[in-house]
Amino acid sequence: MSVLVYTENWDGQFKKLSFELISYASEVAKSYNTNVVALSIGNVDEAELSKLSQYGADKVLNLSNAAYTEFNAEYYAKAISEAAKSEHAQVTIFANNITTRAIAPRVTIKLDAGMVSGCVAAPESIEPFVVSKKAFSGKAFARVKINKDNKVLSLNQNAFGIKENVKAANIVSFECALETSKAKVVEVSKNSGKMSVLDAEILVSGGRGLKKPENFKLLEEASDILGSVATVACTKPVADLEWRPHSEHVGQTGKVVAPNLYIAVGISGAIQHLAGITSSKVIVAINTDKDAPIFEASDYGVVGDALEVMPKLNEALKAFKANS
Amino acid sequence: MKILVCISHVPDTTAKIAFVDNNKSYNKEGQQFIIGPNEELALTRAIDIKEAKGGNITALTVGSAEVEPTLRKALAMGADDAIRVNMDPKDAFNVSKQIAEVAKANQYDVILTGREAIDYNGGQVGEMIAEWLIYPSVSGVNDMDLEPGKAILKREIDGGYEKIECDFPLIITGQKGIAAEPKIPAMRGIMMARKKPLIVVEPVQSDNATEVLEHSLPASKASCKMVSADDMNELVRLLHEEAKVI
Ligand SMILES: Cc1cc2nc3c(=O)[nH]c(=O)nc-3n(C[C@H](O)[C@H](O)[C@H](O)COP(=O)(O)OP(=O)(O)OC[C@H]3O[C@@H](n4cnc5c(N)ncnc54)[C@H](O)[C@@H]3O)c2cc1C
Ligand SMILES: Nc1ncnc2c1ncn2[C@@H]1O[C@H](COP(=O)(O)O)[C@@H](O)[C@H]1O
The fraction of chain A above a pLDDT of 90, given in percent, is 76
Work out the minimum CA distance from B191 to partner chain A, whole angstroms: 30
Question: B230 touching A, CB under 8 A?
Answer: yes
Radius of gyration of chain B from its Cα atoms, rounded to whole angstroms? 21
Contacts of A12 (CB under 8 A, 6+ apart): A42, A43, A44, A45, A48
Domains defined for chain A, CATH in brackets = 2-173 (3.40.50.620), 202-323 (3.40.50.1220)
pLDDT at B220: 74
pLDDT band at A253 (very low <50, low <70, confident <90, very high): confident
Tell the burial category of B101 from Cβ atoms under 10 Å away from its Cβ (0-12, 13-18, 19+).
middle
Contact A253 B176 (CB under 8 A): yes
Give the C-alpha separation, B1 to A215, whole Å.
Answer: 49
Work out the minimum CA distance from A150 to partner chain B, whole angstroms: 10
Q: Kindly tell me the number of DSSP H helices and DSSP E strands found in chain A.
A: 8, 18
Give the C-alpha separation, A218 to B204, whole Å.
Answer: 59
Question: A293 touching B, CB under 8 A?
Answer: no
Which ligand is closest to the CA of A115, given by its number? 2
Q: Are B139 and B155 in contact (CB under 8 A)?
A: yes
Question: A107-121, B12-26, B67-81: which range is least confident on average?
Answer: B12-26
Give the C-alpha separation, A77 to A88, whole Å.
Answer: 16
pLDDT band at A99 (very low <50, low <70, confident <90, very high): confident
pLDDT at B186: 95
| Residue B22, Ramachandran bin (φ over 0: left; ψ between -120 and 50: alpha; else beta) | left
Query: Angle CA(A278)–CA(B174)–CA(B121) in degrees, nearest 5?
Result: 35
If you measure from the C-alpha of residue B122 to the centroid of ligand 1, how many angstroms do you get, rounded to a whole number? 28
Classified as helix, coil or strand, B148 is coil
Q: Is the dihedral of CA B140, B75, B92, A281 positive or negative?
A: positive
In B48-191 the beta strands, taken as DSSP E runs, fall at 56-62, 81-85, 110-114, 137-147, 150-157, 160-167, 170-174
Classified as helix, coil or strand, A101 is helix
Across the interface, of B11, B124, B136, the residue whose CB is closest to A117 is: B124
Tell the burial category of B226 from Cβ atoms under 10 Å away from its Cβ (0-12, 13-18, 19+).
middle
- Chain centre to alpha carbon of residue A172: 26
Give the C-alpha separation, B1 to B54, whole Å.
Answer: 7
Across-strand partners of B216?
A141
pLDDT (mean) for A305-316: 98
Encode pLDDT of A232-244 as tens digits.
999 999 999 999 9
Task: Identify the CATH class of B2-215.
Answer: alpha beta
Which residue would you say has higher pLDDT here, B79 or A179? B79
DSSP labels, A121-173? S--SEETTEEEEEEEGGGTEEEEEEE-SSSEEEEEPTTSS----------EEE
Question: B29 touching A, CB under 8 A?
Answer: no
pLDDT at A151: 98
Contact A140 B157 (CB under 8 A): no
Give the C-alpha separation, A257 to A202, whole Å.
Answer: 10
Question: B23 touching A, CB under 8 A?
Answer: no
Contact A98 B156 (CB under 8 A): yes
pLDDT band at B74 (very low <50, low <70, confident <90, very high): very high
Pairing mode of beta strands A151-155, A114-119: parallel
Q: Where are the domains of chain B?
A: 2-215
Which ligand is closest to the CA of A256, given by its number? 1
Work out the minimum CA distance from A226 to partner chain B, whole angstroms: 8
Of chain A residues 78-137, which have a CB less than 8 A from chain B? 96, 98, 101-106, 108-110, 113-118, 130, 133-137
Of chain A residues 187-246, which have a CB less than 8 A from chain B? 187-196, 199, 202, 226
Residue A223 per-residue DSSP state: H
Give the C-alpha separation, B77 to B42, whole Å.
Answer: 12
Whole-prediction pTM = 0.86
Question: A6-15, A141-150, B204-213: which range is least confident on average?
Answer: A6-15
